[in-house]
Chain A
């Protein structure tokens, strides 16, 4: 058996794959957080709940209407985005003139309510969601066994992240968005409907969380608490990456997923806290974050 640093290579690669998958979710979620924060100056605490909502939307579509994975991949994020748009219109938009901390507290309350409702009806145990037939099974790569669905998650998240990045950096809508991030008043003066832009951005951000949720449904179990612990890790990812940069959020997400995977191989006891340790070190050396410009 091939060994690397005294660890069988299968174990190493296996954990790296797990790390890459976790990293895919970190990347998608911190991307959504960064987009929302960039324009709305709101830390969306409900992001974890929206991720859970995406997974549950897919699960319930299958259970109630027999809608399969592929349509759900589009519909579930849409549902979450619509919920997000309603929340933004009726509540969040009233908080923009206040200290950004109120946005954090409001979305925190929202997360508690959403999770509380699902916990009330579905308990805390997980519900399995079947892997779609097209992506079932696995591939033997010679050095390791790769379940196809997990490979798909990594590819899909890369596509999602890159597309979102391209939309923001290369399209006209994206340029409005970036301009509004820099100076909303001036952009409004140019005749662009900034409130609408804010609403759509929150919809886009929560939709991304919902998409991550439906992608996660077959990998992890669909449970009301699946988002609440994840979101804190994603917060740490965002602090490490620095909120300013979209690309930074993506890269940091994958990177920290891999770091977590490696820690599981070499020092499993620390794997649940390694991301927080990295965050502390980054704060010491570069308080603005790896990709951030300024505090």
Chain B
């Protein structure tokens, strides 16, 4: 997806960016005092999930259609560790992210053998396989899922049953996760990923072992998606099959597409909008799938840069990389 936009930041543009980031963080700190905290936490989990997904599609040019595996898989691992083994929440979350990384290594190993559209189909098929696996193995409790996961005490001290403590824990993890994505993207490693996105053959001819970089990006993206899923399991105190379905994989694509593929804040905006929309529709009786499907079609037809991408492309001084 070469249409991703990039900001060419002048000095003033960079300052503006930091101001906006500061405002955003301040808004997130204030949010739980204004909005129902659980709702904001849900948004944050999905926003981190979408950022992790964007690392692949936006900066490496790989469309994974199976990211629910890492999100939902990590939720299961974390929920099981915390509930059945009695692990503290931080260990459970870490295990979830690690487990997702392992799943990412396995799925990535197969998927990077093909490119483009095949890559999407293989990730989709393998994640569907993981869905059936989750349906059948006993530890996930099939249709019921793992319920009543205790939130416990973070590092043995902070009581996560307190809504605000939980919220700021989630916010901290979210910020760390997004910072990790930002660091990866703006590192020499990230530059190589972008070069693969722009022209894979040239990257190969320059001597980069593209397969290795793709796999590394895939594993990182999976681990971060897992981080989001594991945190979600702690927040909502359950892990269910919903999070490993292909519909969930589609949802994260939609969030990223709507917000803006290949932009830092796009996926966050997209996740906020999609979660907000679903929340609104849940009470209205209008089927969510129709709404998401329509947004998908509209985005693809007329709106491929996404909301943030369109704004960035129209900013004075911003130059279109292509298109």
Contacts and interface: CB of A to CB of B under 8 A. Distances in A.
Interface of A: 43, 91, 94-95, 98-102, 104-106, 108-117, 119-120, 232-233, 235-236, 238-239, 243, 269, 272-273, 276-277, 279-280, 283-284, 287, 295
Contacts of A98: 3, 304
Interface stretch (B72-80, B212-220, B284-292): B284-292
A95 B312 CA distance: 23
Given A99-B3, A101-B120, A112-B250, 19 more contacts: A100-B117, A102-B1, A104-B120, A106-B300, A108-B253, A109-B293, A112-B293, A112-B296, A114-B293, A117-B287, A233-B125, A235-B121, A236-B125, A238-B121, A239-B122, A272-B136, A279-B122, A280-B126, A283-B110
B27 interface: no
Nearest to B135: A272
Interface residues of B, number: 41
B189 interface: no
A101 B1 contact: yes
B133 interface: yes
Closest 10 CB pairs of A and B: A109-B296, A112-B293, A116-B289, A116-B290, A113-B293, A276-B129, A109-B297, A236-B125, A106-B300, A272-B132
Contacts of B296: 105-106, 108-109, 112
6 contacts: A100-B116, A106-B301, A120-B287, A239-B121, A276-B125, A279-B125
A99 B261 CA distance: 14
A98 B322 CA distance: 13
Nearest to A229: B128
A264 to B, nearest CB: 14
B63 interface: yes
Contacts of B114: 239, 283, 287, 295
Given A120-B290, A236-B125, A273-B132, A284 B110 contact: yes
Nearest to B290: A116
Contacts of B118: 239, 243, 295
Nearest to B125: A236
B184 interface: no
A232 B113 contact: no
B219 to A, nearest CB: 18
B9 interface: no
> Which of B118, B120, B246 has the most chain A CB atoms closer than 10 A to its own CB?
B118
